[in-house]
Structure 1
Amino acid sequence: MTEGTGWRERRIMVQGRPIFVRLGPEVPGSIPLVHVHGFAVSGSYLLPTARALAGRATTVVPDLPGYGRSAAWGHALGLPSLAWALLEVLDALGLDRVFLIGNSMGGPLSLEVAHSAPERVAGIVLASPAGGVHNQPLGRALLQLARDVRRERPRMIPVVLPDYLRFGPVNGLHLFSELVRFPSLERLLRTPVPTLAVLGTRDPLMPPPARVREVARLAPPHVTVVMIDGAAHAMNFSHPGELAHVIGCWLDGAEITDDPGQPGVARVLPIRRERT
């Protein structure tokens, strides 16, 4: 049983293989929130933010094929195959339309699903979306990843270390090299659905604030960009209150402000668009 009142665990079948899914309390009439994890790890580290949002909508936290407690597929699936598998998970759960909340690799996967099946996606949240020019070449991305490890909360280590060991270094390096080549910026600027991008100011895998502001000014009106001061890459684990508050404001169409429940912990830095 997943920790937390009303949470359930299920195994569903995708292409004849079992997929592990965590389900929050059902919220009738809501558009479900599906949390999508990063590379080489399971959905376990997403649970702090998922729990914080569980009262707002039915919440789903799957382990994608080959990750965490889901069955291995004999080889590490690439990003297009993982996006297809995510759609298969939605089908198996009977979810016609959802919000996708992706961290790291979960950002590109959410963008892939939104571009391929926009009628299935009410909107996407990209929390530290990896991939693109800032992470290239691979050697640069590996150094960024090493710097980020030192900036994450130490209590995340026992949560993700078993996942990394199970996934394996060879699979991890192969998938990470594919991830850094993913054109996240280009897909973001052409996203067909409402999109919220949330970046941390201490995340070495993300561009510096000046570049983020430049990108935000290029984005279409249905894209919102916000920065959380003090957050590193795995903000879903380290800053769940602030991230959940930002997502809640965005879902409500309200002004995005600092989380009143986390005063002094992290500041939200919304990107202002220039008036024309």
Structure 2
Amino acid sequence: MAEAGWQELRVEVQGRPVFVRRGPEIPGSTPIVHVHGFAVSGGYLLPTAGALAHRATTFVPDLPGYGRSAGWGHTLGISSLAWALLELLDALGVERAVLVGNSMGGPVCLEVAHSAPERVAGVVLASPAGGVHNQPLARALLQLARDAWRENPRMIRVVLPDYLHFGPLNALHLFGELVRFPSLERMLRTPVPTLAVVGTRDPLMPPPRRVQEVGRLAPPHLTIAAIEGAAHAMNFSHPGELAHLIGCWLDGREITDDPDQPGIARILQFRP
């Protein structure tokens, strides 16, 4: 781990090793756990995780079957990954955490929040994929291809080994499950404080008009915001803006643009 104070460890979940990156310990804090998307490891989440590591003890795991974690003999679906994440929290000794999920990590975090709300202090959904806007599968695959050209080129060397390791057949199977996941319905009914963040250049997210409609339907404990200029993997491409936005939300402050990075992205908040 390049960052000072970070550690790499392996813990057992159901007798199988799970690889976890852990930031510096912040006593008395509610831990933040970053959850990656489909077919990739947690490596691309580190820019945002690092930017938030001063706030709380931070964990960036590779879920079972991804990256440097052992596989379980078959591809785990979203519900099984949520169960494995809960088991991982137990193995890490984390009683309650803020979950920050990107792409498929969003549905995984939503499943955890719905099944064990007492374990979740809050959920951040960065580009939460799944639902009607990503259906049918052929449409979602086209959206994914369009997004690839909008991402930061430096991310290729981070995620390409993960995709090759995971395999195209496993990726296609899980992506099919992801696009059928009712992310919007689960998000509107989440039992814990939730922040949903979309990028205005993300083809997998609904258009701004639809996002504003959802914002007007949002219950009081759900905040919806957008980062201008971000595509799907905002945790890698826009870590400063995303971390600043999350920090505002965690502190209960008004969400504003990042004062340290003017002109890179504009934060828009949609209120119900």
Q: Give the TM-score band, short-chain normalised.
A: over 0.9
Aligned to 1:202: 201
C-alpha distance in structure 2 between counterparts of 1:16 and 1:57, whole Å: 28
Supply the AA of the counterpart residue of 1:149.
Answer: A
C-alpha distance in structure 2 between counterparts of 1:207 and 1:71, whole Å: 35
Residue-pair matches, total? 272
CA shift digits 1:58-84 (9 cap, x unpaired): 000000000000001111101110000
C-alpha distance in structure 2 between counterparts of 1:217 and 1:122, whole Å: 24
C-alpha distance in structure 2 between counterparts of 1:113 and 1:74, whole Å: 23
Supply the AA of the counterpart residue of 1:50.
Answer: A
Do residues 42 (structure 1) and 46 (structure 2) align?
A: no
Aligned to 1:249: 248
| Deviation, structure 1 residue 122 | 0.3
Write out aligned runs for 1:105-254 (5 A): 105-254=104-253
C-alpha distance in structure 2 between counterparts of 1:38 and 1:82, whole Å: 11
CA shift digits 1:179-225 (9 cap, x unpaired): 00000000001000000000000000000001001011111000000
Supply the AA of the counterpart residue of 1:216.
Answer: G
Supply the AA of the counterpart residue of 2:264.
Answer: V
Do residues 28 (structure 1) and 32 (structure 2) align?
A: no
C-alpha distance in structure 1 between counterparts of 2:271 and 2:30, whole Å: 28
C-alpha distance in structure 2 between counterparts of 1:3 and 1:184, whole Å: 34
Note the aligned Cα RMSD (angstroms).
0.4
| Deviation, structure 1 residue 272 | 3.0
Aligned to 2:84: 85
Do residues 97 (structure 1) and 76 (structure 2) align?
A: no
Name the TM-score, length of structure 2 as normaliser.
1.00
Do residues 67 (structure 1) and 96 (structure 2) align?
A: no
C-alpha distance in structure 2 between counterparts of 1:29 and 1:154, whole Å: 38
Partners of 2:223 and 2:271 within 8 A in 1: no
| Deviation, structure 1 residue 113 | 0.1
State the secondary structure of the residue aligned to 1:87.
helix
C-alpha distance in structure 2 between counterparts of 1:13 and 1:24, whole Å: 19
Identity %: 79
C-alpha distance in structure 2 between counterparts of 1:89 and 1:95, whole Å: 9
Supply the AA of the counterpart residue of 1:99.
Answer: V
Supply the AA of the counterpart residue of 1:139.
Answer: A
State the secondary structure of the residue aligned to 1:129.
coil
State the secondary structure of the residue aligned to 1:204.
coil
| Deviation, structure 1 residue 43 | 0.2
Do residues 5 (structure 1) and 7 (structure 2) align?
A: no
State the secondary structure of the residue aligned to 1:12.
strand
Supply the AA of the counterpart residue of 2:15.
Answer: G
Aligned to 2:15: 16
State the secondary structure of the residue aligned to 2:127.
strand
State the secondary structure of the residue aligned to 1:102.
strand
Aligned to 1:269: 268
C-alpha distance in structure 2 between counterparts of 1:96 and 1:13, whole Å: 17
Q: Please, which runs of 5 or more residues in structure 2 have no aligned partner?
A: none
Supply the AA of the counterpart residue of 1:219.
Answer: A
State the secondary structure of the residue aligned to 1:124.
strand
State the secondary structure of the residue aligned to 2:109.
helix
CA shift digits 1:130-163 (9 cap, x unpaired): 0000000000000000000000000000000000
C-alpha distance in structure 1 between counterparts of 2:218 and 2:95, whole Å: 27
Supply the AA of the counterpart residue of 2:90.
Answer: D
CA shift digits 1:71-120 (9 cap, x unpaired): 01111101110000000000000000000000000000000000000000
| Deviation, structure 1 residue 165 | 0.1
